[in-house]
Every structure is written in structure tokens, then in C-alpha cells.
Structure 1
């Protein structure tokens, strides 16, 4: 039985840092640079100095990022939409559910112990603990044995666990009742050795612990609801598989449960990959870049770079270390381009038919911040047609992508100051982390991509014409002198060498015919290389050559069963289709509060 139990754990690679690789490149485990390691002349600089190599320059860099973040506090003057009922700052092409799907994907790619903006340097504390990319480790953890607290018991008298835990919601101003549906993530109280008890004596027990694989998936109410959505789908797929199992099979033992879990997990992973490829990326990327990477003839310039330009790749020992170290995310992605999702966050959300909540309240609604008001009550249970366009619904739209963040992301309780500048908020952290990470400069990155894929750069005047780019940046930086107090020297250094996350937002804002409605070419290239590269590298082997989701699911089923137990799962390529299928297999069409 013990051997069978060990087999029930998900195969997750070890997370021991490879010190030789980190020492040779000055890079914490799990990270690398995009394309190749930039040389000294190619790195971002502030006032001509590389902050990653000059700690004595830190105070000046922090002050500059502080002033830039304050310049970015000025509201953007977006052009109006044809539909006057849509606010200028709203993006009708991207419903707001995709904002949080991006966050979920980010959690599935990167998991660091401490943000770089807090540590101030790249070291072991900023290592990326993810060793596989886009395999739903953020949802499943290390499987029912490695992460048993994430899974519900199948029966009262053995160790089988195939379904993810969920928790009951409660009705507002009431305690949890047995009839309340399982619509929240699972939460629990815990003994505390320090003697601190956040419960309200005689009234309500504090549910301080979220029983999920990745604690960041309880960063706020919408994130925990999205996690519950994926858990509901997995649990429904477990039931689908069970019903399709051969009638003669013995399905009441650990081995059968193991197969059932793996089949459902693989099915959900294939659905997840299809949605990232066909729905999420299609919405956020520049159309021409998406077409280049989503088609059958794509090639990866990042992959080519590792054979031609990085000396480490000509060293077999280093190559072997890199292979054993597993997934490595480019810093230019994690600390640069993929921060764009923060600009998409709305100032408030219509959660369901019962309530609209502002962003600050949404961010505070977690087990860590508000344990005595957990589980979520009915005013926080998401109606998904408010977040994805389902059967013609009018969802909350995301904010247009540009150099501005909603005020709630400056909440000093959620994002307190990390240094002597006393600057609170997520924006300053994004800029500071990028400035300290030794990233490629925007200009050098453009030049390097132009060598490898000149058509990408030539299609954008902002990228191809440096004097034009600098003048546009200079004009914008100087246009709101009452915000930030940027000096002439500040403006010149930022216009000539902008921090990458800032430039990605600026580039999106500058898109002709679609200002702020999708990423520009540079942001799209970095995101495409990482996301589509991860999808290709980590595709389920049995489904790698499938031409459709149905073919992939049939191949997955064939690994475990003589018949296709997944034949009733429809083609799912969009989030609205995922939500509708979850409602169907979970019996949620008539749910109260409404699910669809």
C-alpha cells in the first residue's frame, strides 16, 4: 500500500538550486535572461549606470523609480469608443475575467519566496520554485500525497483522494449552513504557537488558512473564485471519468483512483492549454505576432539564441545543469513584459446580481486579511457572465493597457512601502524590481530581435525608429509636470533607457487603431516566446500531435482505459465554453447565487 501511495504523487522535479549555474551567471535558480545573457552595454541603465552592478547607486535609482511611478499616477486620456455606454478607459475586447486568468497563468510559471523589490538583489530568496511550466502545479500542487491538504477524501475508510477540496459559501450576515453550496475554496482555522487568535469570541472562528496548493491563489476574492472554478471543473471531470470506466473494472481501490485522478488532471491540463493558446493569447497579443506564433510554422528566436550567442550553451556541463534544473523563466518576462496585467485591473467589479465591490475591498477579501469573514458570503460568489461574455452577457471589461494602474493597487495595507522612499503600491514595486534585475535595455532588446526577426521590428515605427521612440517617450514623460516632479535629467534618462515594464505599457498605449486594447509588438514577442514555448515544451506527450481537443482527450483516455471515457467532453477553446461545461457537469445551471 505504501508503494501505491507514493505512486499517487504528481511527478514534480526537485527544487534544489543548482549553485554552479547561479554562480556562473549571477542568476538565482529557475531564472534566466531572454534570448541570451546581455553584456554590460546591453543592460538597462539609469543615468548611464547599471543598477544591478552598482549597489551604491541604489538610492538614486529608487528615487527615480519613485518619481516615474508618480508620473504614472496621472489618468490617461483615452479616445472614446463607438459605443458611448463603454467608458473610455474600458477595453471591450478583453472581459475582466482574463485579467485574473493571466494572474493564474503567472502563478503557474513563477513562484518566488520573496519579491526582488523587497530583497533588493537577485539571490536564493528570489529563486523560482517552479520546475515545470503551465502544468497546473499552481492548482494541483504535488498531487494527493505530496499535497494532501489540497484534496478531499474519497471515502471515510481509506486514503484515496481524487477531488480538490472546496468550501461552503455562506449567506451574508449568517454562519455557514449545511445547505450552502461548495462555491468557495476550502478554508480552515489553525492552532497558533504564538497564542494569537483572530477569532471573535463567541461569534465567529477565524478561518486563517486557505487549503490550496498555491497561497497566492487567495490573493483576493476574484482569484480564489477562479481557483474554485478550476477545482469544480476538475471534480466534474473525475465524475465523468468514473461514469465512463468499464463496468467490469474494480474501481474501488487505490490503483483505480490513481488512474481516475491522472486522467481527469490530464484532461483539465489539455483544456487549459487550449484556452491559453486560442483564447487568452489571442486577446492580449498584437494580432500579427499572435498569428506568427499560433500557426503551424512558428519558430522561436529565444530557442535559437541559446545555440548561437550564450557561451553557456557551448559548454556540455552547463547545458546538462540547465536541463536538470528544469524550467527557467526569463527575467525580461517575469519582471518586465508580463507585468502588463496589472494595468488591466478595474477600480471596481460587479461580482454578481447582489453586489458591486471596489478594488480595495476585493483585495482585502482573503483568509490572511479578513479571516473572521470567511468563507466568502453570497455577495462575493462570482457570476461568471459578469467576467466572461457568456450567451451575449455584458461583462465587466478590463482596463485598457497603458502606463496607469487603478488606485486600489496603491492600497498601503496590501502593498506597503518596501524601502526608505515610503512609496506604497504595486506600481513602484514593478518598476523597482525591473530596475534591479539587470534586464536587457529596451534599445538593445529591439536591436537583438531585429537581427533575428527583422520583420517584427520593421512593422512598428515605435520600435524601428529610435529618434521617434525617444521623442514620443520624452513628450509623454514631460506632459504632466505636476505628477512625479521629473527633472530634465530624469526625462532624458527615462526616454533614452525606459524600464521594460513601463515601456511595455507605453507601447500598448501607442498602438494605432487599437490604443491600449492589446500589447504592442515588443511585449507580444516576449510573451509569445515564453508562453507558446512553454506550451510546446510541456505539451502532454500523448497529445502532442493531436489536431483538436477531442483528439487530445481521446489519446489521454487511451493511456488509462480501453474505451474513451472523455468522449462526451466538447471542444473547449474559450473561457466561456469552459464555464458553461463546468455548469453542465456540475449541475450549476440553476445555482443560487447564479453561476452563469
Structure 2
């Protein structure tokens, strides 16, 4: 461990793979919570952003309109915890955050200002690889990122000697591929879980780093497609899109998310700035960490939940309180998928957002304003375009916005000739409101689900290191719930039912909780 800390403390360069058009970057401090710019970062892109619907006009809203909808006390402020629970275990909130940090990082665009055009969007650098490759865990491998690895045990990822925290430099900085994965207790522990998962696969199931990395990535990708998205998405859209993912050779998929030959995969802003921010509505104000800390605020400085610091043993996360790990413990569920964001997210702490402007410290306001700056189309326009592309979406759904308390405040802000926000609704708000109208907050709405399946499906199908590129690959039966069937070796495959994966909403033969059980099992 001393060797690891010494290497990290003296490393002034992050080595970047020249074949990916990366470049050496000196002293790059990406230590922030993903809502503010990283101080001192002027990066060369790993990839870039793009638009799924470049021909649709952007919907510009004013800061006053964004404040009415998403500011403190606005239409999206759940200050009384009025939202119901969903049926999704709350551990998936932090898994979603972990995935987000694996695929997207924008440190260049400003929150305030007029809309930017398609050309400017295409020039924006994305500092993560949008290929679900766990580069936030592996960095550039043992040779390119040696400070992430255990020098005393080849191929193993470094963890803290106490076994319950991330490896850290002498100053306390986490030695991980993306520093944002230390920004709160839960995502930090999710990062550690994935590192331990790799190490145990290396110890128990395979014989080399390359094999362990591949198996870890494949299991992670499987969970995203068949566990996380299945729990989250509209069932009709999920089944329709998954059938096309399974038969992409016969029915071209994705439909809109294309990849230019010889160029990196880009990240659509309709996904990164709107659709995938569904995770924000899942967030609760309080969480159970373990049996001794059953009610901890999301940003409770007493418990170090603001992150970027060593984790004391008394705050080790008990995943059985957040995921269905044990039959004897019912996990806490996420907040409902609706247009309301919890009070904590409307008053982000100063260490998270360095601004005295109350609106700037509201995550809903920030999302709406960033969507306007990025020139995102209205929700109605996106729903219509997806319907035209073939998705089974109702493009003219009534959001019942006249029934939203306070919506009338918006009417007086627009001239008669301007587009009405009732018929041209900001995409972020539209997707969440649609979820409440269609599924009463239990599932993501059809339009948001289509955007997730299009882009996640595209990431997996466009990537040459995806498990979908390996015919008939299945999760290891010793890791999945098929472990009770020892007659099936990994090479023989496990008896998963593909039809049930598509159509049975209760069929989860391998889920995130299985990784917890595998890692924590002493066998």
C-alpha cells in the first residue's frame, strides 16, 4: 500500500492512450460534484457531445421561467416529501450515478447564457468514454494508471487496507479513475463494490487481469440492460426496444444514435442533459446507511456525506438496506419518478455549488436552464420524432399542466406570439411529468424510456467490447442466482430465459444485489 500511495502522491501526469486521441494532462483536479466546472481543467476530449434530433428547433426558456418551474419553492420542489415511493430499490439511485460517471463529463459549458447551436454542441468535449467500459474503475489499466492497482498483487485493484474504504493518497484523495465517485458515501461505496467485484472474480473465477476485467465489464453491462433499465423503463417500450437489440442484425438498431466510421461514439445531449437526469427524481432526502445510522440526510456534513474524505468504519454502507440482498430485510425504495425533486436538491450546499444565488443551488433549475442553453427541443417535439422513428409512443399525451398548482404564473411571461409551454414543454420537465401521468411515478414514461433504450442500446451495440458482441454470453452461474445449480459451469452457460428477459417484468436472474452477495460471501 505504501508503494501505491507513493506513486499517487508523486504522479503529476495522467497518462492517456494516444490511440484514443488523448493527450497527457498535467495536474488535472476533477474534484467536483458534477454540477460545477472542475477548476483548472482544460481537457482534450475523449469524445464529444451530439444531438439525436439536430433538425428539431430548440426550446429557449428564460431564467425567470426556469425559476418558476425548477427554482426553490417552484413547481418541482417537493418540500413536504409529498412524492410516493417507487418499486425500485434505492441502491439503484447510486448505481445510476455511478453509470453516469462512467459515460459522461462536461466541464466546459456555462449554466447561464443564450442557446448554442448544433455545431457548438458537437465541439463540446465529453471527458468520459460513452461505451460502458468501466474506465472510471480501470483508468488506463495497470500500465497507464498504476496508482489504481495493488502493486503487491498483480491485476488487483487497490483498496484501503481497512477493507471498507477506497485506496487513498496521503492527503486523503481517493485513488480511482473518476474522482466524482468519491463525492458521497453511497457512490463511493458503489465504486468500492465494483472494485471488490473485479478482485474476487480474479481470485476465484479466472486466471488473469484481462479475463477479470472482461468478466467484470460484461456483468456490469448485463445489469444495466437486463436489471437497471428493466426496473426503470416503461414495460412496452422496454420490450419493443430489447427485441430489436437482440435482433439488431435483422432490424437495424439503434435507430437514431449513429456512429461515424473510425470516430469515437458521441454522447447525445437529449440523453445527458434531460433523459438520464431521471436519477435526480429518484433521490430521497434521507437514507439508512447501516443499523446504527438509519436516518442520514443526503448532504449531512456531520457524516461526511459531502464526500472526498476517508470513510470511518461506522459509516460503512449496509447494502441490504438499499438493495434486495437479504430475504429478511426490505430495502428502502427510491422516490417516485415524477416531476418533483426532493428538498435537498433544491438547496445544494455551498461546497457542491459555489453560488449565493438560490436558483443556482437548485438542481431542477440548473437542469432546465442547461437544457435551454444546449438548445434541447420540447418534450412534445421529441415524442413526435420518436413516434415517427417507429417507437410505440403516443406523441400527443395530455400532461394536464393546467392542473399543476402554480402553472398559471408562467402564462403571463410569454407574449401572445410565443410558444406556449403547455404545448412546448421543456424536455426535462416533460419526461418526468409524463412518468407521473402515465405510470403514477412507478416507471419512467414512454418518451424518457425510449431515449434511454436508444442510447444505452447504442452504447452496447456500437462497442466492440460489449457482451452483446459475444454470442450467447451469460453471467457466471456462480455469481448469479443460478449458483444453486452447480452442474452448470461458466463455459456451459446458465439457463437464462431470453423470452422472459424481454417480457417478464418479475424475471431478474442476475441483478445488482447478486454482486453484493458474491462480494460479501466468505466462500
Shorter-chain TM-score category? 0.7 to 0.9
Which residue number in structure 2 is paired with residue 348 of structure 1?
286
| Separation in structure 2 between the aligned mates of residue 126 and residue 219 of structure 1, nearest angstrom | 24
- 1:542-574 CA-to-partner distances (Å, cap 9, x unmatched) read 862432415899xxxxxxxxxx99669978620
Contact 1:343 1:401 in 2 (8 A): yes
Which residue number in structure 1 is paired with residue 141 of structure 2?
143
Within the alignment, does 1:359 sit opposite 2:291 as a pair?
no
Contact 1:117 1:418 in 2 (8 A): no
| Separation in structure 1 between the aligned mates of residue 104 and residue 298 of structure 2, nearest angstrom | 24
Q: Kindly tell me: are residues 376 and 32 of structure 1, through their superposed partners in 2, closer, same or farther at Cα, counting changes over 3 Å?
A: same
Gaps of 5+ in 2: 1-14, 24-44, 479-487, 497-508
Which residue number in structure 1 is paired with residue 226 of structure 2?
278
Which residue number in structure 1 is paired with residue 370 of structure 2?
433
1:389 corresponds, among 324, 330, 352, to 324
Which residue number in structure 1 is paired with residue 238 of structure 2?
290
1:100 corresponds, among 86, 89, 94, to 94
Give 1:403 deviation, angstroms: 1.4
2:429 corresponds, among 502, 517, 532, to 502
2:336 corresponds, among 383, 400, 413, to 400
Larger radius of gyration: 1
| Separation in structure 1 between the aligned mates of residue 516 and residue 493 of structure 2, nearest angstrom | 13
Which residue number in structure 2 is paired with residue 81 of structure 1?
none
Secondary structure in structure 1 of the residue aligned to 2:513: helix
Task: Give the 5 Å matches for 1:487-566.
Answer: 487-489=411-413, 493-511=420-438, 514-538=439-463, 540=465, 544-550=469-475
Within the alignment, does 1:109 sit opposite 2:110 as a pair?
no
Secondary structure in structure 1 of the residue aligned to 2:420: helix
- 1:148-188 CA-to-partner distances (Å, cap 9, x unmatched) read 21111135xxxxx41111114xxxxxxxxxxxx41111122
1:32 corresponds, among 45, 50, 65, to 50
| Separation in structure 1 between the aligned mates of residue 261 and residue 404 of structure 2, nearest angstrom | 44
Within the alignment, does 1:450 sit opposite 2:387 as a pair?
yes
Give 1:396 deviation, angstroms: 1.5
Q: Kindly tell me: are residues 394 and 11 of structure 1, through their superposed partners in 2, closer, same or farther at Cα, counting changes over 3 Å?
A: farther
Which residue number in structure 1 is paired with residue 266 of structure 2?
328
Secondary structure in structure 1 of the residue aligned to 2:20: coil
Secondary structure in structure 2 of the residue aligned to 1:503: helix
Contact 2:380 2:396 in 1 (8 A): no
Q: Kindly tell me: are residues 439 and 111 of structure 1, through their superposed partners in 2, closer, same or farther at Cα, counting changes over 3 Å?
A: same
Give 1:423 deviation, angstroms: 3.4
| Separation in structure 2 between the aligned mates of residue 125 and residue 149 of structure 1, nearest angstrom | 31
Give 1:117 deviation, angstroms: 2.2
> As a proportion of its length, which structure holds more helix?
1
Q: Kindly tell me: are residues 423 and 544 of structure 1, through their superposed partners in 2, closer, same or farther at Cα, counting changes over 3 Å?
A: closer
Secondary structure in structure 2 of the residue aligned to 1:274: helix
Which residue number in structure 1 is paired with residue 85 of structure 2?
90
- 1:189-247 CA-to-partner distances (Å, cap 9, x unmatched) read 34xxxxxxxxxxxxxxxx2x111100111111100000000011111111125xx65xx
Contact 1:403 1:506 in 2 (8 A): yes
| Separation in structure 2 between the aligned mates of residue 105 and residue 450 of structure 1, nearest angstrom | 27
1:464 corresponds, among 396, 416, 419, to 396
- 1:517-542 CA-to-partner distances (Å, cap 9, x unmatched) read 11110000001100112122225368
Contact 2:255 2:454 in 1 (8 A): no
Contact 2:104 2:126 in 1 (8 A): yes
Contact 1:15 1:129 in 2 (8 A): no
Q: Kindly tell me: are residues 125 and 420 of structure 1, through their superposed partners in 2, closer, same or farther at Cα, counting changes over 3 Å?
A: farther
* Alignment size in residue pairs: 451
| Separation in structure 1 between the aligned mates of residue 388 and residue 307 of structure 2, nearest angstrom | 52
Q: Kindly tell me: are residues 550 and 9 of structure 1, through their superposed partners in 2, closer, same or farther at Cα, counting changes over 3 Å?
A: farther
State the superposition RMSD in angstroms.
3.6
| Separation in structure 2 between the aligned mates of residue 143 and residue 545 of structure 1, nearest angstrom | 22
